[in-house]
Amino acid sequence: MSCRATRGRRTLVALMAAAAAALGTPAVAQTPPPAQQTPPAQQSRPGPDYWQPDWMVRELWGPGRMPKGMMTRLLRHTTYMNYGVPTDYDGARSPLAPGPETTARGARIYATQCASCHGKDGLGDGDAENAVSPSPALLAFMIRRPISIDEYLLWSISDGGAQFQSAMPAFRDKLSRDEIWAVIAYMRAGFPQVGTDEKK
């Protein structure tokens, strides 16, 4: 190592020592305590990441940590994606023509059979006594997802959630298949406020 470099380093060390000594003097001792000087933790974060928002990170939703409702929904959806529906519903298509009459019919059924749990607008905000776990699905949202085709909805509503340990009732013996198609048509129409005298 050259002599000049060594001297340069010595000067630097001396300067640092002087600075440390200066910091130790009473005049500088009035600076705020270290806790206040530490920059807030969030400053090191890059800001919102729309592809991996906070509520979606694996640590929150990963296996073992996922809320029961989310797990049940995943199970229902994965079961369908992997195995389809029982033969009774396989490939079923709604025979009902969409229109105001069908929608009004579905609205009445929805109001009496579904709203108490799923909420009158399908937002999962039914009566407090039906605050079940897993929670009632947000039908207004899921009805717009690609999974919500005829056979899937017919199966979900007919067979209910017993196989997934959820409180979703089986409507197989409670409603006719036509009535189930009417409710489906009503949900697809966007839960409008029509023919809903029974609605709260």
Q: Would you tell me which residues interact with ligand HEC (CB under 6 A)? A: 72-73, 76, 113-114, 116-118, 130, 132, 134, 136-137, 139, 142, 153, 156-157, 161, 164, 166-169, 171, 183
Residue the block writes with tokens 């001297």: 7
Task: State both tokens at 198.
Answer: 């029974």
What minimum distance in Å lies between the beta carbon of 64 and ligand HEC? Answer: 20
Q: What is the DSSP letter of 188?
A: H
CA torsion sign for 24, 25, 28, 34 is positive
CA torsion sign for 191, 162, 169, 101 is positive
Is 26 or 142 the residue whose CB approaches ligand HEC more closely?
142
Q: Is residue 111 classed as helix, strand or coil in its secondary structure?
A: helix
What minimum distance in Å lies between the beta carbon of 50 and ligand HEC? Answer: 24
For every residue of 158-169, DSSP letters joined together read: HHTTGGGT----
Is 23 or 81 the residue whose CB approaches ligand HEC more closely?
81
What minimum distance in Å lies between the beta carbon of 106 and ligand HEC? Answer: 9
What minimum distance in Å lies between the beta carbon of 35 and ligand HEC? Answer: 47
Is 13 or 81 the residue whose CB approaches ligand HEC more closely?
81
Is 31 or 112 the residue whose CB approaches ligand HEC more closely?
112
- φ/ψ of residue 108, rounded to 5: -65, -40
Residue 103, Ramachandran bin (φ over 0: left; ψ between -120 and 50: alpha; else beta): alpha
Q: What is the DSSP letter of 124?
A: S
What minimum distance in Å lies between the beta carbon of 95 and ligand HEC? Answer: 17
Is 31 or 163 the residue whose CB approaches ligand HEC more closely?
163
Q: Is residue 51 classed as helix, strand or coil in its secondary structure?
A: coil
Is 103 or 156 the residue whose CB approaches ligand HEC more closely?
156
What minimum distance in Å lies between the beta carbon of 65 and ligand HEC? Answer: 19
